[in-house]
Amino acid sequence: MLHQRRTAAEAVAKQLFEAEEALDAALAAVAGLAVTMPTARKGANLSVMYGQDAMESASETLNYLTQARRTIIATHNALAVAQHQMGLGRFAVGPGNDKPETTPVTTGVHLKEVKAA
C-alpha cells in the first residue's frame, strides 16, 4: 500500500511541477511582451497614444497570471499537507529545489514590555 501511495504522490507531484513551470513561463512571456511594447513604440517614433489598450490588456493578463501563481502555490501547500497525512512526509518528491520555511521560526529572542517615559 505504501508503494501505491508513493506512486500516486509522484504522479501528482510531476503534474504540479509542470503546472508551476508553465505559469512561470507564461508570466515571463507576458512580462516580456509588456516591456517590448513601449520600447517598440518608442523605437518606431509613435505617439504614446498608440497601443494603450494593448498595454492595459497585457497588464491585466500579468495580474491574472500572478493570481494563478498564488493559487498554484496554495495547491502545492495543500498537497504537502496531504503528503504528511498519507504518511509520506519523510519521502522527498520533486526537483529538490530550495523552499522557504512556511512556519515562523523561533529565534530565541524574547521581547519585554517597557514602560513609556
Contact status, residue 37 vs residue 51, Cβ threshold 8 Å: yes
Closest CA relative to residue 31, chosen from 2, 1, 7, 63:
63
Enter the pTM of the model. Answer: 0.73
DSSP category for residue 87: T
pLDDT at 27 (0 to 100): 97
How do residues 39-65 score in pLDDT, each as one tens digit? 999 999 999 999 999 999 999 999 999
Burial label for 3, CB within 10 Å (0-12, 13-18, 19+), is: exposed
- How far is residue 98 from each of residues 19, 27, 39, 71, 95, measured CA to CA in Å? 18, 21, 35, 19, 9
Query: Mind listing the pLDDT tens digit for each residue in 90-99?
Result: 666 566 555 6
